[in-house]
Amino acid sequence: MPCISVIVPVYQAEKLLPACVESVKKQTFSDWELLLVDDGCTDASPALCDRYAAQDPRIRALHQPQNAGVSEARNRGLREAAGEYIAFLDADDAFEPQALETMWRLREQTGADSVGCAHRNVTPAGDGGVELLLPAGVYDRQGILDGIVYPLLGERLKAPVFNGFIWRYLFSNEILRDKQIVFEGAYLEDELFLMEYFCNAQRLAVTEEPLYRYFWNPASATHRYMRNFEQVFHRFLERKEAVVKRYELSQARPQWRENTNWAGLLIAVGNEYAPGNQKTLRQRQKTVEALCRQPEMARAIASYLPEGLSTNKRLVAKLIRGRHFFLLTQMYRIKNRL
């Protein structure tokens, strides 16, 4: 039984996978297994996965015949993982050489059931800074709620927004399996996974050392136009409400729904005016107007004033509240060169 199972969802990653796998093989901590989950790739990724598995008995290649999405790929990894702890790694990112050892030793020293770290953002130009998870220390149950769960629940607007990155942690496999915590969906799935997991964790140790390299890729799923974002967001809201009820979180952030709806609305508006959308500007404007008339969104717009937004989002929110949709469209036309 390995100490740590590292799960990597793989999709069309033949150019990026070698650096990712090498970052695991070069770890100063050797008691790991690496699960490469081929999610129906049609490039050379499946053969690469098999080759790595043949070279190192700690590496396993898992193949899915059809592309089922990142959530199902991670779930497949969770079902197959033999490790006491789980770490996630994206195929276009990398661990620092001491990542697993540092987090494992920190867990041992503190008696924590979970560990988190900072990460380094790397842009295509090679620059970027370090982003902290939380200040270094050991967090008890209340500290975990205040530092992670509540920001994910109802603080999705005020900059800087707490990011729901799952690859900054060591997760207890016992907690994941006992509470049957899994992923669902292709967007915002990380946030719900973290919320539910940390509603069950009791002790979190955090280091400010950047142990993960996150390569910002403008072509990734989070930067492309999503045709079905509205349906994805509604499902996300349903699942979030279920977590809120299960763990009785609403009293801590009574306006979590309005806050979440505003956050979803701002993302939806940006998505609608993304360059990849084939609709005309007029059609996009009508879609945004219809979205703002939906009961949930209309209630949030009328009853909740977003605070702490970045300059651009503050302007978008002001135009939405004033129903200046033509001006909103023209702003995005100029901004995105539509």
pLDDT in tens, 301-323: 999 999 999 999 999 999 999 99
Neighbour tally for 111: CB within 10 Å: 10
Split at pLDDT 50, 70, 90, the class of 124 is: confident
Complete domains list, the chain, with CATH: 4-215 (3.90.550.10), 255-335 (no CATH)
Six-digit token string for 107? 């867990």
Exposure on the CB side of residue 242, measured as CA atoms within 13 A: 10
Six-digit token string for 33? 């297994």
**pLDDT of the residue at 272:** 96
Q: Is residue 99 a contact partner of residue 27, using CB atoms and an 8 Å limit?
A: yes
First to last CA, the chain: 54
Give the torsion through C-alpha atoms of 152, 298, 316, 242, to 10 deg. Answer: 10
Residue 223 has pLDDT above 70, yes or no: no
Please choose, from the candidates 79, 74, 34, 78, the residue with its C-alpha nearest in 3D space to the C-alpha of residue 58. Answer: 34
Average pLDDT over residues 114-138: 93
pLDDT digits (tens, 9 = 90+) for 71-92: 999 999 999 999 999 999 999 9
H helix or E strand, kind and range, residue 105: helix 99-110
pLDDT digits (tens, 9 = 90+) for 164-176: 999 999 999 999 9
Higher pLDDT, 222 or 83: 83
Backbone φ, ψ for residue 109 (5° rounding): -70, -30
Q: Is residue 181 a contact partner of residue 81, using CB atoms and an 8 Å limit?
A: no
How far CA 158 is from CA of 124, 137, 168, in Å, comes to 27, 24, 21
Please choose, from the candidates 167, 5, 9, the residue with its C-alpha nearest in 3D space to the C-alpha of residue 80. Answer: 5
Q: What is the pTM of this model?
A: 0.94
94-95 and 137-139 strand pairing: unpaired
